[in-house]
Amino acid sequence: MLNSMNRNIKILFAVFSILFFSLIAYLSYFQLYEKNKLITSSYSVYNKRLIEQEKKILRGSIYDRNGNVLAKSTIVNGEQIRQYLDGVPFADIIGYSRRIYQQGSTGIENTYDRELLGMINTDPMTFLRETVLGKSQVGDDVVLTVDKRLQDLAYGLLGGRKGAVVALDPKTGAVLALASSPSYDPNTLGENWSSVMNSPDHVVLNRATQGLYPPGSIFKIITASAALTYKPDIYNQTFNDIGYVTVDGNKITNYDNIAYGTIGFQKAFYVSSNTSFVKIGLQLGRSNLEAMANKYGLNDSVPFDIPVEKNQFPSIPLINGKVQLAESSIGQGKILVTPLTMALMASAPANGGVIMKPYLMDYVKNPVTGEILEKTTPEKYLNPITKDVADKIKQLMIGVVQQGTGTAAQIPGITVAGKTGTAENPHGQAHAWFVGFAPADDPKIVVSVIIENGGAGGATAAPIAREIMKAYLGY
């Protein structure tokens, strides 16, 4: 009987040992591979309880570059309320938090969720244990690069029209404004969820980063870059501009069918001659134009704090691709880009040929001690052109504003460089574009503006860019 008892004890010990080591193995696996997924995953069945616990954490605040509060949490009658103090103009940047609406999260609220929950230096398992036990916790604050004053101005200048404004520092990539219109009020999103999400104006679409548009004539910056890089002799050529050019039976005209006569490369850029740039593109050939477009990132999705739609520059066919090459040379055809990408394109000639990686988060700080916990370091993103080519493109862009299609962007006392665009749109009136920077001799701000169905870029988009640059530079 004693032997039988010992045998049972050994079996029981073996079973418990197996269970114990299985538990250890699972916890080790969870700690190494699954813990972050549990803590930071989107709203889901297995994470609902955790989300309920997270409501006990006072979510960190979001500030602009000058210390203005953009979003904060307060406790009202025992419930955490998220307030968006400049709601509509910033809605597409800051987004909304699932912790409040339990409908998913977007924007900065989503990207920096861990930071706003105070989880940068906290082990996720410790975080889970403390929240379950009811220990009070305060999230960290996120400080953005955006200037509230500039953002409000940009949104106001759009005037309810569909469009976007992007402003950034070409030397660092810091985004100064990122406005999309029309927008929505995140403070009333809960009660207006259905109407906002199903709006015919697509108010939740961030047109600055997710809107895809034909670039029109602002793309001539890239065509000119390719010409100066791969076939520099084109710069000294003259072109007979009769107002249109025919390519394989397809007629391509200048804006308003204007004929400029005999003009050189510079004048063709200033007045945005489609016929001349079609001829330039045909001389370049598909491989050179494609190569430069790729150098500018036109087949990439820009790395950024919030989602960016991928640009589209379809490959030009080797056979029967002449018309597509001609259209691509002037930013038409099948090319689609975001306003953010066009701001980055314009920053190349503004920054000696280098495009810096754009960013929105300046730093994360502890709300109590002020300690900087995370900080973004500026870094190079692309280098599509040499400094010599960049300087020549800059001079061409100065000419556009001084004596070409962009005179509405002039600022007294400041040299402004820019390029207008009037992008043909199969669904209505042309889209109005302008990209530019100032001061041209030491650029501090690059601006990209698009107004959907706005017509001529020089008349509609350029004045908006002018006001943004004036405000930032203090004029």
Positions marked catalytic: 217
The amino acid sitting at 122 is T
Q: Taking Cα atoms as reference points, which of 400, 459, 407 lies closest to residue 431?
A: 459
DSSP 281-342: HHHH-HHHHHHHHHHTTTTSPPP-SS--PPPB-PPPPSSS-HHHHHHHHTT-TT-BB-HHHH
Contacts of 154 (CB under 8 A, 6+ apart): 89, 165, 167, 177, 179, 464, 468
CA triple 449-455-460, angle to 5 deg: 45
270, 405 contact by CB (below 8 A): yes
| Helix, strand, coil content of the chain in percent (nearest 5) | 45, 20, 35
Tell me, what amino acid is at 136? S
CB 131 within 8 A of CB 144: no
Q: Where are the alpha helices (DSSP H) in 351-386?
A: none
Residue 354 CA to residue 277 CA, distance in Å, equals 24
- Cβ atoms 389, 229 nearer than 8 A: yes
- Nearest to residue 80, comparing CAs of 108, 51, 105, 104? 51
Residue of 383, 416, 382, 380 whose CA lies nearest to 400 = 416
Amino acid at 8: N
Helix (H, G, I), strand (E, B) or coil at 405: coil
